Amino acid sequence: MDLIDYQDSRPIYEQISEKYKILILKGVLEPDEKMPSVRQLAMDLSTNPNTVQRAYSELERQGFLYSVKGKGNFVSPNPHLRDLKKKELLERLRALLKESEDSGIPASELLSELRS
């Protein structure tokens, strides 16, 4: 599994957290499944443990993970994560369609090209 793309301009912790979000949303990682330890993932990715910890903290802040003191990090059983992601994507899509309209390109034109 490639979690880091060195050609990507985003920070490594963002790339890690984004890849894990996708795996969780797709159901590849099951609710309450134990995540790799910070130390182990850092070794696997050849990165600093602080980077992995920051990614895990971000995932926890967003509700994708929960931590158990002394046990590690686990996938959150939150059934609303997919709905939250859908809402986020719809907001971004609305902003793009508004930008399109503001630029003189009708949203209907963009949407019809998407369908083809």
Angle of CA points 53, 78, 94, to nearest 5°: 90
Angle of CA points 98, 84, 86, to nearest 5°: 50
Helices (H), the chain: 12-26, 38-45, 49-61, 81-102, 107-115
Residue 17 CB-density burial (10 A; 0-12 exposed, 13-18 middle, 19+ buried):
buried
Q: What is the mean pLDDT of residues 9-27?
A: 94
pLDDT, tens digit (0-9, with 9 covering 90-100), for 67-77:
999 999 999 99
pTM as predicted: 0.76
What is the token pair recorded at 66?
């929960």
Question: Average per-residue pLDDT in the chain?
Answer: 92
pLDDT, tens digit (0-9, with 9 covering 90-100), for 45-90:
999 999 999 999 999 999 999 999 999 999 999 888 888 888 989 9
